[in-house]
Every structure is written in structure tokens, then in C-alpha cells.
Amino acid sequence: MWKRLQKEFGKWIWISLVLHVLAALLSTGFQNSDEHFQILEFLHARLGLSPLSDLSMEFQGMMRPWLQPLFYEVPVQLLRRLGIENPFVWATVIRLVSALVGWLSVLALGLRVSDWVDNPQARKWTFRILSCLWLLPVLHARHSSENLSGAVFVIGLCLSLEKGIGLIPLFLGGACLGLALHLRYQVVFMFFGFMAWMLFSAKERSWSRRQWGTWLSGMVMAGFVGIIADRVGYGRWTLAIWNYFQFNIVKGGLEKAGEYPWWDYFRRSWTETWPLLGFVHFISFFVLWLRAPRHVLTWVTLPFFFFHFYIGHKETRFLFPAMHLAPLVLVLAFAPLWSVQNRWRWVRNSLVALNALALLPSVVLPIWWPAGFYEEIFLRARQSEITSLEYTGENPYKPAGIHFHFYQPAGISVMPFSPGPGPKWIVHETYEIPAFLAAQGSRGEMKCEIRFSAYSKWLMEAVPVERVKRLKNWTAIYCR
């Protein structure tokens, strides 16, 4: 199998791996707050480094799966045994683990290319797109439930579709699909779509009773693993998936978070992703459904999209599990673009150029710039340069009222600003020295200077986007 992948991917298999590693190392921070508060903070509390009572309401309501935090606990505990207590190193390793799982899903999709793409030239383009699509490396490096579940689902799907498959890979395919469901409950719609395809559309793929039993036993085993993980995390038996359904659907928790029209994902695909490319990826799913209604990817993605169109609350990240299939969907939807000689090659070349333009910054830039600010505080605190912090506005370690324990150095005191002599470190919310501190400096009472910030001053001034201007630019000021 590995030789087959090397032959078909060629050098692109290693280019893909390098891009995934770079994204894991450099795209620091989190894309959405759930990626931090539902994973890293759960893990931090599990390690006994912060109180369980400070976790978000999802913990109190026992409606988030513990499978992913427990999965990441393994490498973190290994690091701790080596004496590494730096949470930023932990987060980097967690991203590396996530990126590796994502890279394996790329390889799994590569095994399906010969079955789904007939044209040899189109097949070559498919491997290039699989390896270098701008969104995949950074998506795979994210330690969120949407992304890990999407990668694990793709692996399970491809294992389940392998021709002449043995019982062990079939068992693993079912197990991966079951684990994906427990990582992100909404993946159940992709799973039901695959089941429907196997039962009603895949006439040539009739499994024996033994094969069905093996595949379903993998699913059942994954279900038990998920329930046991929740038992370990919450300390008692519970059905987290039912609690989640009760809160968000029955009690309307999703609607309370904000409702949007059904077509809002069309807008989001343009305004909340890389211009044009995100919209093309989004539209390609609709084109695939029309061009290939019997294809397994149609049956897998259509019910998943329909559910998210139906519910009122919408976020771009909700569609991420399906976006792991975007490379193959893009090729299958716009098959004529990948021929060597055709009148649409200028469109293909334009998309390739845009992809190259988007790939580099998405891989090398932080996904959340303030992570560097918190790391700088951590390093200075470890060297005893910072022993206490005072803040002028919101507590930087309790944004929006939720504790930020994972990044907070042990032993450092964080308190509201109080007038008094220096030396002291003060955190301000904009890149400037507050007027009351500047006044003290003008009277010669205390000299203050900016040492570092979440976003550099030139960046905030250079980006002409009002939403960026409103970001809190945590700034560390040293007064003496």
C-alpha cells in the first residue's frame, strides 16, 4: 500500500507532509474559542492543573465528548515525564499529532483516486491538489473537534471502501467512523449518508454478513470507547451526546447563540475564508451533487450540508468535517478543468495561482496572534522577570468571563491595576500607554514603556478592516 502511494503521489507526498508539519509548528493559537476552551482547558483540568469548576458550561452540563482531550493527554503526559512543563510546547505537540492524523487522511483519499478519477491527467492534478490545497494543512493542524473528526471520518470511509478488503481493515474502518461520530456528533449525518449509499446505491459493493458484522462491531467498539471516555472525564456515567441534543435542539441552545437565514453559508464562504477560493470550494459540493448524484461523496455530504442549512445557528467551522473531502470534490465537480488541453485551462491556472498565494500565509502565520503574547509572558515569568501582572481593563486570563488557565504561568499573580510605585508590569488593551500612566511619566513619577504586544502597531495600522481595528491588542507595559 505504501509503495502504491509513493508511486502515485511521487514527491507530492513529502511536500504534503512538510506543509502539515510547518502548519503545526507555525499556525499557533486557535481558530475558534471552542478549540481552546473545549479541548485544552478540559485537558488542563484533567491534569489537575486547574479546577474543574472553572470549565465552561459544557462541562457542567456534561455535553461535550472527552474522547479528544483524553487522546491528547497521552503525548502531554509523555512530555511531562520528560520534565517539559511548557504548555506552548504541549500545544505544539498536540497540533503535530492532529496534523499527522490529517496527513493520514490525505493518504487515505489518495488510495481512492484511481477508483474515482478516470482521466490520467486529471489524476495527476488530483494528487497535487490533495498535497497542496491551501486549506488542508492548517485545517488538519487545528485541534478542534470539527477537524479531528473530519480527518478520522475520511480514514474510516476510505478503509471501508477499499476493494478486496480484509476483516481487520474493515473493522478499523468501522471503528474510525464510530470514533469520528464521538469526536463531533454532527458527523452522524455523514455516517447515515454513507450507510444509505451502501444499502441503496452501491449495488456492486454487497458485503457478506461476516463483513457487515465485522464493520458494525468496529462501530460498536468505538461507541463503548466514547462512553467510557466520558465516564473517565466527567467522573460518572452519562450520555454526553444526549445531553448535547437536549440542550442545543430540544431546549433551543443553538438558536439562543444567534440565528441566520439558510443561505448565510454562501455569504460566509466568501467573507470568512480566502476570497474566491472558499466560495469555489463551497460551490463545488453543489456541482458534485448535480453531476454525480449516485457518488458516495454526494450521499455522504448532502445530508450533512442540509442539516446545517436547516438549523438556525450557523458558523463556518460547522462545515469543516466535510471540507476534508474538498480536494476530491473539487476534482470531481469540475472534471473538465483538469484536462491538459481545453478552453478552460485559464480558469484552472488562475485557481492554481490563487491557491499558491493563499497556501503560504495560511501555513506560516499564526491562526491566533495573541498566542505569541501569552507565550512571551510565560517565558518571562519562568525567568522570574514577571512575577505579577496588573490589567487596566479586562483580565487577559479571563476573557469574556471564562478562565484561561492553560496559558497562565503557575505562581504569577494577576490583578486589576492599582496606583503605586514601580517596578510593575501592566497589560493594556490597545497599543498605547494609557493617559494616566503617561501623566505620571510627564511628572517624572514613573517611566513606562511598551515591551511587546499581541499585534504589532504597524500591522494594526496597515490592515484597513474595521473588524481588525476593534480587536483587543493586548500590550505589555513595563513601568519603573
Look at 209 and 321; give whichever has higher pLDDT.
321
Residue with cell 468571563: 401
Is the pLDDT at 465 greater than 60? The verdict is no
Q: Say what percent of the chain tops pLDDT 90.
A: 66
Question: What's the average model confidence in pLDDT over 255-267?
Answer: 87
Predicted local confidence at residue 421, as pLDDT: 77
Q: How far apart are CA 326 and CA 321, in angstroms?
A: 10
Most trustworthy range by pLDDT among 4-13, 359-368, 463-472: 359-368
Is the pLDDT at 466 greater than 60? The verdict is no
Q: Which long-range contacts (CB under 8 A, 24 or more apart) does 236-241 make?
A: 238/62, 240/62, 240/63, 240/64, 240/65, 240/66, 241/65, 241/182, 241/185
Q: Which amino acid is at 427?
A: V
Answer whether 154's CB lies under 8 Å from 185's CB: no
Q: How far apart are CA 404 and CA 36, in angstroms?
A: 9
Predicted local confidence at residue 342, as pLDDT: 67
Any idea what the Cα angle at residue 475 is, between residues 470 and 480, rounded to 5°?
150
Residue with cell 504589532: 456
Question: Across the strands, what pairs with 415?
Answer: 390
Q: Say what percent of the chain tops pLDDT 70.
A: 95
Predicted local confidence at residue 340, as pLDDT: 62
Is the pLDDT at 134 greater than 70? The verdict is yes
Q: How far apart are CA 363 and CA 15, in angstroms?
A: 13
Buried b (16+ CB within 10 A) or exposed e, 37-73: bbbbbbbbbbbeebeeeebbebbeebbbbbbbbbbbb
Of the candidates 76, 182, 90, 73, which has an alpha carbon nearest to the alpha carbon of residue 371? 90
Question: Across the strands, what pairs with 478?
Answer: 425, 449
Residue 241: CB atoms within 10 A of its CB come to 18
The whole model's pTM is what? 0.93
Q: How far apart are CA 154 and CA 398, in angstroms?
A: 36
Q: Summarize pLDDT for 136-189 with one digit per residue, the tens.
A: 999 999 999 999 999 999 999 999 988 766 788 899 999 999 999 999 999 999
Question: Across the strands, what pairs with 450?
Answer: 477
- Compute the radius of gyration of the chain from its Cα atoms: 24
Q: Summarize pLDDT for 436-452 with one digit per residue, the tens.
A: 888 876 777 788 899 99
Residues 6+ apart with CB under 8 A from 134: 274, 277, 355, 358, 359, 362
Confidence of residue 341 (pLDDT cuts 50, 70, 90): low
Question: Across the strands, what pairs with 425?
Answer: 478
Identify the weakest region by mean pLDDT among 125-139, 312-326, 397-411, 437-451.
437-451
Predicted local confidence at residue 2, as pLDDT: 64
Is the pLDDT at 467 greater than 70? The verdict is no
Predicted local confidence at residue 431, as pLDDT: 87
Predicted local confidence at residue 377, as pLDDT: 96
Strands 448-453 and 388-391, sheet pairing? unpaired
Question: What's the average model confidence in pLDDT over 296-300?
Answer: 96
Q: Summarize pLDDT for 102-131 with one digit per residue, the tens.
A: 999 999 999 899 889 888 888 888 999 999
Confidence of residue 388 (pLDDT cuts 50, 70, 90): very high
Answer whether 349's CB lies under 8 Å from 10's CB: no
Answer whether 138's CB lies under 8 Å from 95's CB: no
Identify the weakest region by mean pLDDT among 211-215, 256-260, 413-417.
256-260
φ/ψ region of 444 (left if φ > 0, alpha if ψ in -120 to 50, else beta) reads left
Look at 404 and 166; give whichever has higher pLDDT.
404
Q: How far apart are CA 340 and CA 102, in angstroms?
A: 30
Predicted local confidence at residue 4, as pLDDT: 72
Q: Summarize pLDDT for 211-234 with one digit per residue, the tens.
A: 889 999 999 999 999 999 999 999
Predicted local confidence at residue 453, as pLDDT: 92
Cis omega (within 30 of 0) on the bond before 399? no
Residue with cell 506543509: 19
Predicted local confidence at residue 149, as pLDDT: 97
Averaged confidence pLDDT in the chain: 90
* Phi, psi (rounded to 5 degrees) for 255: -65, -35
